Amino acid sequence: MDNPFVPTAGSTPPELIGRKGLLDEFSYGMRIGSGAPGLLTIFTGARGIGKTVMLSEAEDLAREAGWAVISETATQGFMGRMGESMRRLANELGDTTPGRRVTSVSAAGFSITTALPPAEQVGWRNTGGQLLRLLDAQGTGLIITVDEIHATDRTEISQLAASVQHFIREGLPIGLVFAGLPSAVSDLLNEGVATFLRRADRIDLHAAAVRDVEKSYTKLFAEGGFDLSSAVVHAAAEATAGYPFLIQLVGYFLWREAELNPVLTDAAAEAAIEHAQKRNTRVVIQAALSTASGRDLDFLKAMSRDEGDSATRDIASRMGASSSVVGNQRARLIDAGIVEPAGHGVVRYAIPGLREYLRSLPQ
Ligand SMILES: Nc1ncnc2c1ncn2[C@@H]1O[C@H](COP(=O)(O)OP(=O)(O)OP(=O)(O)O)[C@@H](O)[C@H]1O
Ligand SMILES: [Mg+2]
C-alpha cells in the first residue's frame, strides 16, 4: 500500500476527519430543490483547515445526485469562465435531448479577463436560465462552487450573487457553495454587495479532535501493515493539534519513516513529526503572515509570551496600546484566520506552531 497521506492543498485526504454531517443540509437541499437553505453554503476557516476539500466533497455529492457542477476559483474573470461553462453544458444537454436542441445559447462570447459589462450580464443570465431550465426538466440542477473568494474584487461576486438570486426567484434549481478566509466572507456579508448571501449557511471549519486523529492513524497504519506503538500514534496525533494540513504532513512523514524501518523507534517518530512541523511552518505560517502588517506582527508577538490563550487586556499593556486599537486588530486577525476568539476578551492562535515560530523571531 502506497503512502495514503496527501499533504497538498486541495487534495482529498484518505479520511475526512471531523467533518461528519456538515454537508447534510446541502444534500437535503438538492432533494428539495430551488430556494432550499442548504443550497447556499459558505465555508470559512484558517489556511489549511480544509475549505477546498469541503468544496470537492460538495461537488462529489452533487454529481452523485446527478446535478451539474461548475467549479471555479475566484480569480479575475471567473464570471466569464463560468458563462462559457454554462453555455457548454447547455449545448451538451440540448444536443442529447431529442426535440430540445438548444441553438440560441451560443450568441456572443463572455469577457474572461474582467467583470462582465452590462450587456454580457444579460447574456450570462439568459445562458444560465436556459441551462437551469434544461436541468430542471430532468429533475436535477446546477451547483456552482467558488473557492478563495478572498482572492477577487467584489464586483464579480456581487454579479454572481445577483444572478443567483434572480434564478432562485424564478424557482430554478441552483446551489452556490463558497469558500474563503473569514475576513473575505465577513466583508462580503457586511458591505452589502451581496446582502442576499447573508441568508447563506456559514460553516466555520475548525481543527478536528485529537482523539479522532489518533483513531484514523491507528486504522490507516494498520491497513498499511505497520504496527506502531500506541505511544507513537498518540504523540503523532497530539503533534497535529487536529489541524488538517498537519494531519496529512505528520502522517506522510511517519509513513515514510515506517517504510524504512517497520519497527518505528520513538526517536524516528519524533524526527518525522519534527520534519512535518518544519514543513508546516514554511508553507502555512509564512503564507498567513505575509499579509500581516507590522502592528499585527507586534500583536501576534505579544501573544507569544503566553503559554496558552491570551487576554486582549494583557496584549494591550504589552504593546502599550489602547484597548480600542487592540480590539480592532483582534477583529482583523480573527477575520484573517490567524487568531480565533477563545471567550470574552480572550484569543488564541488559529494556526499551530505559530507561537513557536513567533518566539523564534527577533522580538
Ligand atoms: N477533514 C480532514 N481530515 C484530514 N485531512 C484533511 C481534512 N480536510 C483537509 N485535509 C487535508 O488538509 C490539507 C489542506 O486542505 P485544503 O487545501 O482543503 O485547505 P484550505 O482550507 O483550502 O487551505 P487554503 O486556505 O490554503 O486554501 C490537505 O492536505 C487536505 O488533504
Ligand atoms: Mg483552499
Q: Where are the domains of the chain?
A: 24-204, 210-288, 293-360
Q: Give the class (CATH, top level) of 24-204.
A: alpha beta
Q: Pull the grid cell for residue 3.
A: 503512502
pLDDT in tens, the chain (363 residues): 899 999 999 999 999 999 999 999 999 999 999 889 999 999 999 888 999 999 999 999 999 999 999 999 998 999 999 999 999 999 888 766 555 555 555 455 787 778 888 888 889 999 999 999 999 999 999 999 999 988 777 889 889 999 999 999 999 999 999 999 887 788 778 776 677 888 899 999 999 999 999 999 999 999 999 989 999 999 999 999 999 999 999 999 999 999 998 788 899 999 999 999 999 988 888 888 988 899 999 999 999 999 999 999 999 999 999 989 999 999 889 888 899 888 899 999 988 889 999 999 887
* pLDDT at site 215: 97
Q: Pull the grid cell for residue 355.
A: 507561537
Residue holding cell 517504510? 259
Take atom 12 of ligand 1 and give the residue whose Cα is closest.
245
Take atom 23 of ligand 1 and give the residue whose Cα is closest.
48
* CA angle in degrees (0–180, nearest 5) for 180-349-44: 15
* pLDDT at site 193: 66
CATH of domain 293-360: 1.10.10.10
Mutate to test the pocket of ligand 1, among 245, 285, 286, 289 (most ligand atoms within 8 A of CB): 245
16 lines ligand 1 (CB under 6 A): yes
52 lines ligand 1 (CB under 6 A): yes
19 lines ligand 1 (CB under 6 A): yes
What is the DSSP pairing of strand 142-147 with strand 174-180?
parallel
* CA angle in degrees (0–180, nearest 5) for 56-251-242: 70
244 lines ligand 1 (CB under 6 A): yes
Contact assessment for residue 145 and residue 70, using Cβ atoms and an 8 Å cutoff: yes
* pLDDT at site 307: 95
d(CA 116, CA 162): 13
* pLDDT at site 96: 60
Mutate to test the pocket of ligand 1, among 211, 247, 253 (most ligand atoms within 8 A of CB): 247
* pLDDT at site 27: 97
